[in-house]
Amino acid sequence: MNFLNFMSGLMATEQKTQEQLLEEAGLGWLSKLITAVKNIIGPILIVIATVGIIYAIYLGVMLAKAESAEAREEAKKRIINVVIAIGITAALIFVMYLLANNVGWFVNLEQQA
């Protein structure tokens, strides 16, 4: 029963938005910076990842068309590099959005400490 009381207490409390938490901490400028980063860098990283995927498809076609073993090996190396780059870009997108959406939570923890 204690768990249910705890959960109902959580639901009853007012949840503050990230912007409210940052304003209370005197970090209103950080909220504007986060919004700008999400609006500018996010789409840029998505475009880069899309270009990488298109390039990987192109390299796959070049691998299929390669007539010599040397050309196939070169295409394989490039495909591996592109796949690694796409993975790093996807990780950057994930980390950027994760951090940008949770900055207010970190600020709230510092205020409670």
Q: What is the pLDDT of residues 1-35, one digit of tens each?
A: 555 555 555 554 455 666 776 677 677 777 777 77
Whether pTM > 0.75 for this model: the answer is no
Whole-number pLDDT of residue 98: 81
Whole-number pLDDT of residue 28: 72
Rounded Cα gap, residues 71 and 65, in angstroms: 9
Q: Is 2 exposed, middle or buried (0-12, 13-18, 19+ CB in 10 A)?
A: exposed
| In the chain, domain spans | 42-108
Cβ atoms within 10 Å, residue 91: 10
Rounded Cα gap, residues 83 and 74, in angstroms: 14
Whole-number pLDDT of residue 23: 72
Whole-number pLDDT of residue 33: 77
Q: What angle do CA 41, 46, 48 make, to 5 degrees?
A: 95
Whole-number pLDDT of residue 48: 85
Q: What is the pLDDT of residues 63-106, one digit of tens each?
A: 889 889 998 999 899 999 998 988 888 888 888 778 777 766 55
Q: Are 15 and 66 in contact (CB under 8 A)?
A: no
